[in-house]
A = this chain, B = another copy of it.
């Protein structure tokens, strides 16, 4: 099947408003009065961000969700996405059908639709670039540079589970139950960004970032953009029981450097309650420090880097 056949069979059924059924040179986004458009793009690559043997529906959902996570961290409600696919010649119709089904599932879950994209063949690894579009009320996008001295630092969800799942795939030895093992693997394969939380986040956050490079590295982005120092209280960082069972005493230090969490770290006034955990505070100064039992811990690995 050529690219036109693939698009017509698998992707045209996913196309929504503004896409012209994927049958034009471009897509159209009519302006929404009083709304700003938030745009983000992330590429995932076989062997780096997922494995060739992962179910294709999970790969599709990961490609979408790593982008929905960025939109959520900016306080934006997702609306559309573009899909750029570089497909190895070994891809089968079954693989494509599963991939499209994964996209369809997440379109329903998050209320988004396919706006456009392109499909080509590659001699290299499967590569998927998604560009996601969301909307925020005018001027209300949450940036990285709004943290204030005296803010508390919060994070949604638990940190490190995805890194734990990856470690298991990399054949790290463990004695987890099948349930715990599968829970961590599931978090690696299909991130759970807190998309529905974006609207509440806008009401409280001064600065926000999605946790993708690693908690400490991403808080470093807020610290440097905002001109503050962030102190993380190690005991407060939320770690799941399966992750503690996998990494024991090393769980905290590995979790905060692991990356691929797709949760949201943000600063806001202290003392707030909600679907998040207070893990630290913003002070005068620069950089990020991690304290355990009141002592600074040396941070050897700041986060995941591609090179």
Chain A residues proximal to chain B, CB less than 8 Å: 1-4, 6, 20, 23-43, 45, 47-48, 70-71, 73-74, 76, 82, 84, 86, 89, 115-125, 127, 129, 131, 138, 141, 143-145, 209-210, 221, 225, 305-307
Contacts and interface: CB of A to CB of B under 8 A. Distances in A.
A75 to B, nearest CB: 10
A296 to B, nearest CB: 24
Contacts of A4: 305
Contacts of A28: 36-39, 141
Given A24-B74, A24-B143, A26-B70, 19 more contacts: A1-B307, A3-B307, A4-B305, A23-B225, A25-B73, A26-B76, A31-B37, A39-B82, A39-B116, A41-B118, A43-B118, A47-B123, A48-B122, A86-B127, A118-B129, A121-B306, A122-B124, A123-B125, A124-B127
Nearest to A48: B120
Contact of A74 (B26, B37, B43): B26
Q: What is the total number of copies of this protein in its complex?
A: 2
Choose among A76, A84, A225 the residue with the greatest number of B CB atoms under 10 Å from its CB: A84
B40 A116 contact: yes
A38 B27 CA distance: 6
A305 B209 CA distance: 40
Contacts of A141: 26, 28
Contact of A40 (B25, B36, B37, B209): B25
B20 A143 contact: yes
A31 B23 contact: no
Nearest to A1: B307
Contacts of A24: 74, 143-145, 225
Contacts of A43: 84, 86, 118, 120, 129
A303 to B, nearest CB: 10
A2 B74 contact: no
A305 to B, nearest CB: 4
Contacts of A27: 38-40
B45 A26 contact: no
Contacts of A119: 306
11 contacts: A1-B307, A4-B305, A20-B143, A23-B145, A24-B145, A25-B40, A28-B141, A31-B37, A39-B82, A39-B116, A129-B129
A36 B31 contact: yes
B2 A306 contact: yes
B3 A305 contact: yes
B2 A307 contact: yes
A145 B25 CA distance: 11
Nearest to A207: B24
B123 A306 contact: no
B42 A118 contact: yes
